Structure 1
Amino acid sequence: MMYSLFFRRWLIALGVLSTGWLCTHTAHAQYRGPISETAPLFALDTPTSYANTPFTPPVENMLNPWSRLVKRLNKKGIGIVVDYTSESAIALNAGHGGDAGYAHQIGVELDLDWEKLIGWKGFKTHAVLVNRAGHNLASDMGERSLNGFQEIYGGGGNVGVHLVYVYGTQDLYKNRVQIALGKMPVNIDFANSPLFCTFMNKSNCGIPKSLTRGASGYATYPGSTWGTRVRYWPLHGVYTQAGLYGVNPYLNTNKYDRTGFRMGTELYTGIYIPVEIGLIPSFGKNNLVGHYKFGVAYDSSNYRDVYYDMASQPAARTGMPYRWTNGKTQIWLQADQMLIRNGNGPLQGLYAIAGFTKSQGNNSPYTYQVYAGFVDRGLIASRPQDTIGVEWSETFASSQLVASQWIRYRQGLSLPGNADYPQSHLMTFEATYNFHVFRGISIQPDYQHIWRTNLQKNKPEVDALGLKIHAVL
């Protein structure tokens, strides 16, 4: 019965795609969701750019005494969240059958509403500390690209205490304008969606990883640099925002500071300037909300060309150093659309998601990334907090990089990117189901299939099973 209902609803969704656009609703009834029901800590890399940053996330706590205390603190302007997330994965084949990895994050978030504390209207501050530890299953396969079976493993891994961010936001003009300033990741505001971290694979959780792996300026959770961001809502359901961030190519490394507490800018190499425009329409009597965004970013840092030397000759052939280039441009186009509503909340329904990113090919390892999928929360009426998702993603190596790798490969030379064969593209498929098992606790079995690990044709396909556990104190 469950499977029959599942397939019927998805067939209905295809019809909604072709007719929903014709049934617009009045502006005052629009949602600004899916506003993340949680902060970046609670759902990892899932902050919102659809409404001004909330004071603190309305999380569901396991322990009622603690929940009552937190609610009392919230009324006084103090928000605290403590949570634990683990992600385990095991490879089933491809010569790595039985290889497994476990990784976890323990996080603490502190949010302060200074209007409630001292009367400073519209000013809030946000800080997150995490402990990350474990083993990355992808490393067993020589995988050093943007793919990873456990998105929780990454910057700040195996560090006792890591400062993710500390920044403040100021709301102005009846919340039509918000200014953020502090040490913060780019991805808490740009090219993101609270739907991305439905999935465990690293390719898309937080943001499409081709952006951050293609430019040092795109600092992503849990790495952060000093920066500022301004968001403006000219109309309800329409926003534009721009930011200015320092570029630190040594984030989360011993050369800079793996713990995130180093505040100096001496290793910054430039500035990262993202600009994004978003449209949030809603359709029909059920307010089927959609989110459509377009962004452009410029990184002023110097990057090595991936093909030419200083004499504009193939560096792999001449043996000369790859030349320096100045600046890098990236773009993204992203969309999600609710097709069927399951309840009143902004995330309660079936969403289709899709997107495209492009990075400058002459000095980036990846040129394009495309992805598409479905996320359905509340599919089963008796389980309104369960979430199911399927997603496909494909990332393409820079054609200039591939050409250089072929030259080096034919000469018997080593290749960049931990590759032992010229790279091409990487494709992932994931299916996942999140069970809400108890107040504040969810368990999520997961399946992933990877084609061309490390973007290499000579790598076998990989199947992996995963399990994600999330608990909020």
Structure 2
Amino acid sequence: MMFTRSLALLARYALIASALLGFFAGRPAHAQYRGPISATAPTFSLDTPTAYENTPFTPPVEHMYQPWANLVKDLNRRGIGIVIDYTSESALALDGGNAGDAGYAHQIGVELDLDWSKLVGWRGFTTHAVAVNRAGHNMAADFGDRSLNGFQEIYGGGGNVGVHLVYVYGTQDLWGGRLQIAAGKMPVNIDFSASPLFCTFMNKSMCGNPKSLTRGDPGYGTYPGSTYGTRFRLWPMHGMYVQAGLYGVNPDLNTNRYDRTGFNFSTNRYTGIYVPVEFGLIPTFGPHNLVGHYKFGVAYDDANYADNYLDIYNNPAPLTRKPFRTDNGKTQIWVEGDQMLVRNGHGPLNGLYVMAGLVRNDPRTSAYLYQFYGALVDRGIFHSRPQDTFGIELSRTTASPDLVAAQRIDYALGRKLPGNTTYPQSHLTVLEVTYSFHVARGLSMQPDYQRIMRPNLQRNKPAIDAIGLKVHAVF
């Protein structure tokens, strides 16, 4: 029944997309000036809709060692793309009741992309696979913060894992690139509510995607977790796309209850279907091609979840002590955009971008209601250092009012609050200022400052100031 409803919903969106295609049929498609490509997390640039040509065959990265770079270029011409990179993120707390606390985490990633048109003549078909090694320590846990905040985003996805399969999927271009179909084992966040600009920053609340989506609904699987899924992206006209997908919902993704390595291909822990739909515009302005990315998305998860407040008789569960009722389905909404205001050079990232967004979750069954964010990202602000990047972002996430109401009752009655909460939650604010130095070919070092206000969304926790360092190397 749940799967039938999801198919019907997807069919409705497909009809809308077909109508759009018919309306714009015959209008020429032109190459779009390419938008931002992540300089420090190449795997996040794969499926992000930044240009008409859809998913690039392999990320355009800069390698540290020229002989290896020459070999990779030769392999690219033959249809084989390889990226090997290392990212480390270190943080040191300056205050917050635990001054001097420190944490280190790293990721070693290996990416393999295959262009089957060059390998065997299968036109328009490419495959992508990524595996990572992750290790280290999440400093946020030392402060009792298990919310979407994290000083080192690279630690997430199950923590210490020797080899973790992130994804393996294929894409097929049709109708001259107007339609692309992706299918395989893949995260949601490489397609929906995605921007390579997010990983300008080191805090987990932003890098990869606004984390209230992931923490608000397990159906929104995020890198390095993945589930079976498929995605359809249609370009009805130049600079406009609509995409929809179907993904399995696995609430135990990246846990020992299912599999922390990513190599479990069973569906025995799946509980439903996640159906995201996104409409996007990619305009460019003026003679300097000031590119922007604007998107509106909505998603429905047809799985069952426990209510945050009501019991099985629709009364306050913290008062009656009856089991929480089960609610069917969750809805998520996101409205996001970025716009280049000033161009500093010819590269796709060389300019000043302003970005902002809003995410809304279902307050009945999600821990969070809203996340708002705004940021400035500027690459090449100094002409003598065109590949340096400056960023400043501010993000606020609010707790579900239903969850807070239940917490207030338990707290007033002197009970221990569920999870890791010690006080009724309210909101979390993250301020981050960062600057990435391009040190050498394929190597960047990024000093970072973060201020976390109300850690774990709790008013009784002092603000935390921390400094950090991110190192990224592409071999």
Would you say 1:322 and 2:324 are equivalent positions?
yes
Q: Which amino acid aligns with 2:219?
A: G
Would you say 1:160 and 2:150 are equivalent positions?
no
Partner of 2:410: 408
Partner of 2:151: 149
* Kept in 1: contact 2:378–2:391 (CA 8 A): yes
Partner of 2:50: 50
* Kept in 2: contact 1:212–1:219 (CA 8 A): yes
Unaligned stretches of 5+ residues in structure 2: 1-27
Q: Which amino acid aligns with 1:390?
A: I
Partner of 1:24: none
Q: Which amino acid aligns with 1:36?
A: I
* Kept in 2: contact 1:435–1:443 (CA 8 A): yes
Partner of 2:296: 294
* Kept in 1: contact 2:33–2:289 (CA 8 A): no
Alignment partners' CA distance in 1, 2:45 and 2:115: 22
Cα distance change on mapping 1:176 and 1:29 into 2, 3 Å: closer
* Kept in 1: contact 2:38–2:197 (CA 8 A): no
Partner of 1:191: 193
Secondary structure at the aligned position of 2:60 is classed as coil
Would you say 1:390 and 2:392 are equivalent positions?
yes
Secondary structure at the aligned position of 1:69 is classed as helix
Alignment identity in percent? 67
Alignment partners' CA distance in 2, 1:453 and 1:243: 34
Partner of 1:7: none
1:105-124 matches, within 5 Å, as 105-124=107-126
Partner of 1:18: none
* Kept in 2: contact 1:291–1:337 (CA 8 A): yes
Secondary structure at the aligned position of 1:212 is classed as helix
* Kept in 1: contact 2:251–2:270 (CA 8 A): yes
Partner of 1:350: 352
Secondary structure at the aligned position of 1:161 is classed as strand
* Kept in 2: contact 1:30–1:289 (CA 8 A): no
Give the number of aligned pairs. 446
Partner of 2:182: 180
Partner of 2:276: 274
Cα RMSD between the aligned structures? 1.4
Unaligned stretches of 5+ residues in structure 1: 1-26
* Kept in 2: contact 1:41–1:128 (CA 8 A): no
Q: Which amino acid aligns with 2:37?
A: S
How many angstroms does 1:201 deviate by? 0.5
Q: Which amino acid aligns with 1:49?
A: P
1:211-250 matches, within 5 Å, as 211-250=213-252
Deviation sequence 1:244-264 (CA, Å, 0-9, x none): 000000101111010000101
Alignment partners' CA distance in 2, 1:299 and 1:416: 24
Q: Which amino acid aligns with 2:189?
A: N
1:17-36 matches, within 5 Å, as 31-36=32-37
* Kept in 2: contact 1:353–1:374 (CA 8 A): yes
* Kept in 2: contact 1:44–1:152 (CA 8 A): no
Alignment partners' CA distance in 2, 1:210 and 1:150: 16
How many angstroms does 1:42 deviate by? 2.9
1:13-92 matches, within 5 Å, as 31-36=32-37, 42=42, 47-51=47-51, 52-92=54-94
Alignment partners' CA distance in 1, 2:324 and 2:158: 30
Alignment partners' CA distance in 2, 1:416 and 1:46: 39
